[in-house]
């Protein structure tokens, strides 16, 4: 599939286009946050505590007088960074595990797939909570923990593709020519098994953003004063009756971001999976 044809087909899916616009917009906001934010997100002004949204503070202020709009903009950077890095870690682990499992039948496949089954039998969010509570909350820890606890679905997808592709003519010919197994796995089969991985990666970013926000809301994610959507929600919880904006706007940011990635992921799935085409 050529690049031009891919983009033309994707452009015919209105939901995917909507998701792509949302994702691109969020990425631009994250990159341009230092220039878009009207205030320093950590600037405390006790004379401007809990101000309602106005022309000077578009989304109001929090209990320390910090501008909520600026903090949400900077929170976009943190949330997307966590989502992208965590998904990168999970995709890397899942691709290697799935490729090795799918290419080598027997005990290698059995051991890896039983490990996947064990990991899937544990509620992922509670596993993340336990690990973060054990090693301590921080931005780096959150990214690593989310990544190493969410690779199992990718591993199964890649394994399934390998089982279908490893008996293809070009793979058999490569074996007959004496091409090393690692080269067959990573240069011949894996590039042709990536379509479901792309979809999983896009959907995974939205899921990781949601997990990070949940951890930060519980106090086990990104720690104040670094702004993230989750800890902004936590700060708004105590004052929700008098400062509704501190809960509404970060919640809307999370909703829109996750929706955008889900729409884009579903559009890619419809395009890349030939079984779904009419």
pLDDT digit of tens for each residue in the chain (278 aa)? 555 655 666 677 788 888 999 999 999 999 999 999 999 999 999 888 999 999 999 999 998 999 999 999 999 999 999 999 999 999 999 999 999 999 998 899 999 999 999 988 888 888 888 888 888 888 888 899 999 999 999 999 999 999 988 888 888 898 888 889 889 988 889 888 888 898 899 999 999 999 999 988 888 888 888 889 998 998 888 888 888 999 999 999 999 999 999 999 888 887 776 555 54
The span from the CA of 217 to the CA of 79, in Å, is 12
Who contacts 4 (Cβ-Cβ below 8 Å, separation ≥6)?
none
Q: Among candidates 156, 269, 152, 138, which has minimal Cα distance to 212?
A: 138
User: What is residue 238's predicted lDDT score, i.e. its pLDDT?
Assistant: 81
Q: 219 is written with which tokens? A: 């106090």
Cis peptide before 225 (omega within 30 of 0): yes
For the chain, give the number of residues. Answer: 278
Helix (H) or strand (E) holding 161: helix 152-165
Distances (CA, A) of 250 to 53, 231, 232, 236: 14, 9, 7, 10
Q: What is the pLDDT of residue 278?
A: 46
Max CA distance (Å), the chain: 77
Q: What CATH code is assigned to 3-36+68-276?
A: 1.10.3720.10
Distance between CA 195 and CA 177 in Å, rounded? 27
pLDDT score for 193:
87
Question: What is the model's pLDDT at position 9?
Answer: 67
Q: What is the pTM of this model?
A: 0.88
DSSP 201: H
């Amino acid at each position: 599939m050529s690049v031009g044809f891919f983009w033309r087909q994707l452009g015919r899916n209105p939901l995917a286009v909507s998701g792509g616009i949302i994702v691109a917009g969020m990425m631009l906001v994250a990159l341009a946050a230092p220039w878009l934010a009207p205030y320093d997100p950590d600037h405390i002004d006790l004379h401007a505590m809990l101000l309602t949204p106005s022309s000077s503070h578009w989304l109001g202020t929090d209990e320390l007088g910090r501008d909520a709009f600026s903090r949400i903009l900077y929170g976009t950077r943190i949330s997307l960074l966590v989502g992208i890095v965590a998904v990168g870690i999970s995709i890397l682990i899942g691709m290697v595990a799935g490729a090795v499992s799918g290419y080598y039948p027997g005990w290698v496949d059995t051991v890896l797939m039983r490990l996947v089954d064990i990991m899937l039998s544990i509620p992922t969010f509670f596993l993340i909570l336990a690990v973060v509570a054990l090693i301590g909350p921080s931005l780096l820890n959150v990214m690593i923990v989310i990544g190493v606890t969410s690779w199992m679905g990718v591993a199964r997808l890649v394994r399934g593709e390998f089982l279908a592709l490893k008996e293809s003519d070009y793979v058999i010919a490569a074996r007959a020519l004496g091409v090393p197994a690692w080269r067959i796995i990573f240069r011949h089969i894996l590039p042709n098994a990536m379509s479901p991985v792309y979809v999983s990666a896009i959907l995974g970013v939205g899921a990781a953003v949601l997990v990070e926000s949940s951890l930060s809301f519980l106090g086990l994610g990104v720690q104040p004063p670094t702004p993230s959507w989750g800890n902004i929600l936590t700060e708004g919880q105590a004052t929700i009756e008098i400062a509704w904006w501190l809960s509404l706007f970060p919640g809307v940011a999370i909703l829109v971001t996750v929706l955008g990635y889900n729409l884009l992921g579903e559009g890619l799935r419809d395009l890349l999976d030939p079984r779904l085409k009419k």
